[in-house]
């Protein structure tokens, strides 16, 4: 079978089929356009069909490819980590603003694949960046990404703040689990295949956010900032929680779609 017909036979989004075939053949997608009439070896056809079947069954494309492009870096991803979303790049942008304003010590909580921590480090090499996760498997993935990218990040195994003692940072960033346990969205798209611990924030979805807001004060230096990603309908609750726990300059920012997606506050002693 030739490449063009093989892609057409997949019956999934053409771009996804092209990405899978390019990965199987070890070429870039541009090669497929130039060689659409080239015959594909049977072993490659079989592997392509195996992966396409997995995609039709709901396995996320990023897990099939083994990587995801985020910010300016390519990250290895697997079933132990959340697939980085485009919306989270807004959190990186805000973090970089804070680093440029003087926040040289940065903590990324719930780092997963290391997407936020490594993006910050790649963009601001002088920053001292730490990445924290409660999952050893997630931290293994983050470490492998750091090695592949040649970036030095301090990786910490901790259930939120429990293992941090009295350490403090000038900037704490988090994209924590914020979906309610009974949210029907958990059954849609790629979400059923992703780790529930990285998605579900408790019965209401606010529990992880509230925990971070309550305890971040003990790990922020004077004037430090806490930046949070949250659900599109949680901004008012997050603002209220930050204000209740003494944060000032509380601000919310919208994502690409205009949804209130990020909220941050400053801690002053």
Boundary-marking domain end, from 16, 41, 57: 57
Structural domain of residue 16, as residue ranges? 3-57
Locate 54 and state its tokens: 């997995």
Q: Are residues 157 and 244 in the same domain?
A: yes
Q: Please report, rounded to a whole number, the percentage of residues in the chain having pLDDT higher than 90.
A: 99
Mean pLDDT confidence for 1-28: 95
Locate 246 and state its tokens: 């003494």
Is position 67 within any domain? no
Q: Are residues 113 and 50 in the same domain?
A: no
| pTM (2 d.p.) | 0.93
The pLDDT score that the predictor gives to residue 50 is 97
Number of H helices, E strands in the chain: 10, 9
Q: Are residues 42 and 85 in the same domain?
A: no
Mean pLDDT confidence for 68-73: 96
Is position 63 within any domain? no
d(C-alpha 173, C-alpha 42), whole Å: 47
Is position 46 within any domain? yes
Q: Are residues 96 and 50 in the same domain?
A: no
Whether the predicted pLDDT of 132 surpasses 90: yes
The pLDDT score that the predictor gives to residue 208 is 97
Is position 65 within any domain? no
Q: CA torsion 91→203→210→119, rounded to 10°? A: -20
Mean pLDDT confidence for 124-129: 98
The band of 174, judged by pLDDT with boundaries at 50, 70 and 90, is: very high
Q: Are residues 225 and 110 in the same domain?
A: yes
The pLDDT score that the predictor gives to residue 269 is 82
Q: Are residues 174 and 256 in the same domain?
A: yes
């Amino acid at each position: 079978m030739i490449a063009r017909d093989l892609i057409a036979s997949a019956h999934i989004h053409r771009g996804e089929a092209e990405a899978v075939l390019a990965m199987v053949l070890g070429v870039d997608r541009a090669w497929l356009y130039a060689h659409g009439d080239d015959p594909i070896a049977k072993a490659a056809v079989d592997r392509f069909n195996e992966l396409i079947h997995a995609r039709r069954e709901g396995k996320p494309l990023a897990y099939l490819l083994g990587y995801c492009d985020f910010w300016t870096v390519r990250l290895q991803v697997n079933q132990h980590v959340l697939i980085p979303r485009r919306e989270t790049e807004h959190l990186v942008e805000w973090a970089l603003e804070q680093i440029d304003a003087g926040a040289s010590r940065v903590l990324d909580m719930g780092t997963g694949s290391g997407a936020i921590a490594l993006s910050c480090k790649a963009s601001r090499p002088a920053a001292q960046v730490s990445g924290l996760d409660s999952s050893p498997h997630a931290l293994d993935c983050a470490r492998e990404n750091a090695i592949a990218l040649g970036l030095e990040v301090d990786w910490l195994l901790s259930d939120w703040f429990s293992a941090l003692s009295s350490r403090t940072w000038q900037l704490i960033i988090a994209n924590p689990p914020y979906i309610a346990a009974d949210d029907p969205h958990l059954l849609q798209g790629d979400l059923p295949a992703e780790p529930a611990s990285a998605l579900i924030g408790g019965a209401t979805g606010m529990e992880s956010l509230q925990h971070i807001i309550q305890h971040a004060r003990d790990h922020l230096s004077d004037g430090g900032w806490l930046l949070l990603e949250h659900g599109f309908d949680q901004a008012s609750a997050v603002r209220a929680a930050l204000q209740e726990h003494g944060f000032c300059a509380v601000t919310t920012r919208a994502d690409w779609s205009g949804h209130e997606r990020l909220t941050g506050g400053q801690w002053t002693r």
